Structure 1
Amino acid sequence: MSKLEILEAILSPVVEGLNYECWGVEYISQGKHSVLRVYIDKPDGITLDDCTLVSRQLSAVLDVEDPITTEYTLEVSSPGVDRPLLKLAHFEQFAGHNVQLRLKMPFEGKRKYSGIIKGIEGEDVVLVVGEHELLLPIESIDKANIVPQFD
């Protein structure tokens, strides 16, 4: 299991036990400036009190489990309107929405794409960019965020 998979396995049940959805976990390893970011969600939105409650519970579990041996900052946050898409299910849920994404390696000479999520096929995200449809393996996507639409 990767570090991220271990963290998700430890943290998701805690978040869900508090009646929130664990939207996702990000771990950015940067020495003393490492960040463990946990996104939580619920149907009527997230407040600062929600983040504080979850943060306290996660801190206690992380102190006991100690999956990160170096210094880090724990951040608990709402995914927001420009929510990150971290799992294949997120891309399926947000089919029809605009997205900006960055690939780990260039595809057709580019790493950054903007388009509309058509859906998923197996382990691939189907992205419509202009007149073209791209099939992008989920493991090739480094970062993806919904582009908010305001009417």
Structure 2
Amino acid sequence: MAYRMMLAVNFTPERLAVLKLLGLLTKSQIKVVKEEEKTATVGTLLGLTEEEIADIASQEAGEGNTKVHDKNVEFDEQAEPVTKEALVLCGFDHKAVNLLLDGIRRGRLKSVPLKAMVTPTNISWTIQMILQELSKEHEYFHKKR
């Protein structure tokens, strides 16, 4: 697994080319998640073994960190597939995240609607699960505006 990696989901080839430039800026690798890989776990797509994924998933939130999700998320097979662009970030510190987000906003991408950091909770989720959860959160926060 690379120190910094982005899992890019549902990007068009044109927007992916722009994202790759941001990958250079943030010194991160980009793994394009193909349609047939959406049933794989985040950890697997990052190149981790099942043992490594289980080890990370069992870790508690460190001091000063809080878990965003305590619940188990299940994939809703009846739900419409999520087709919005998504980025799942691994190994990004605050500085790198801010650099990436600033590059998205100021650059040609302007926006990527669904974004998440890899956590001990979501590392064992499938891409489909994380897309559904991010989509729900995105809708919730946009309704609150």
State the TM-score bracket (shorter-chain normalisation): under 0.3
Which one has the bigger strand percentage? Answer: 1
Which one has the bigger helix percentage? Answer: 2
TM-score (norm 2): 0.22
TM-score (norm 1): 0.22
Structure number with greater Rg is 1
Structure having greater relative contact order (Cα 8 Å, sep ≥ 6): 2
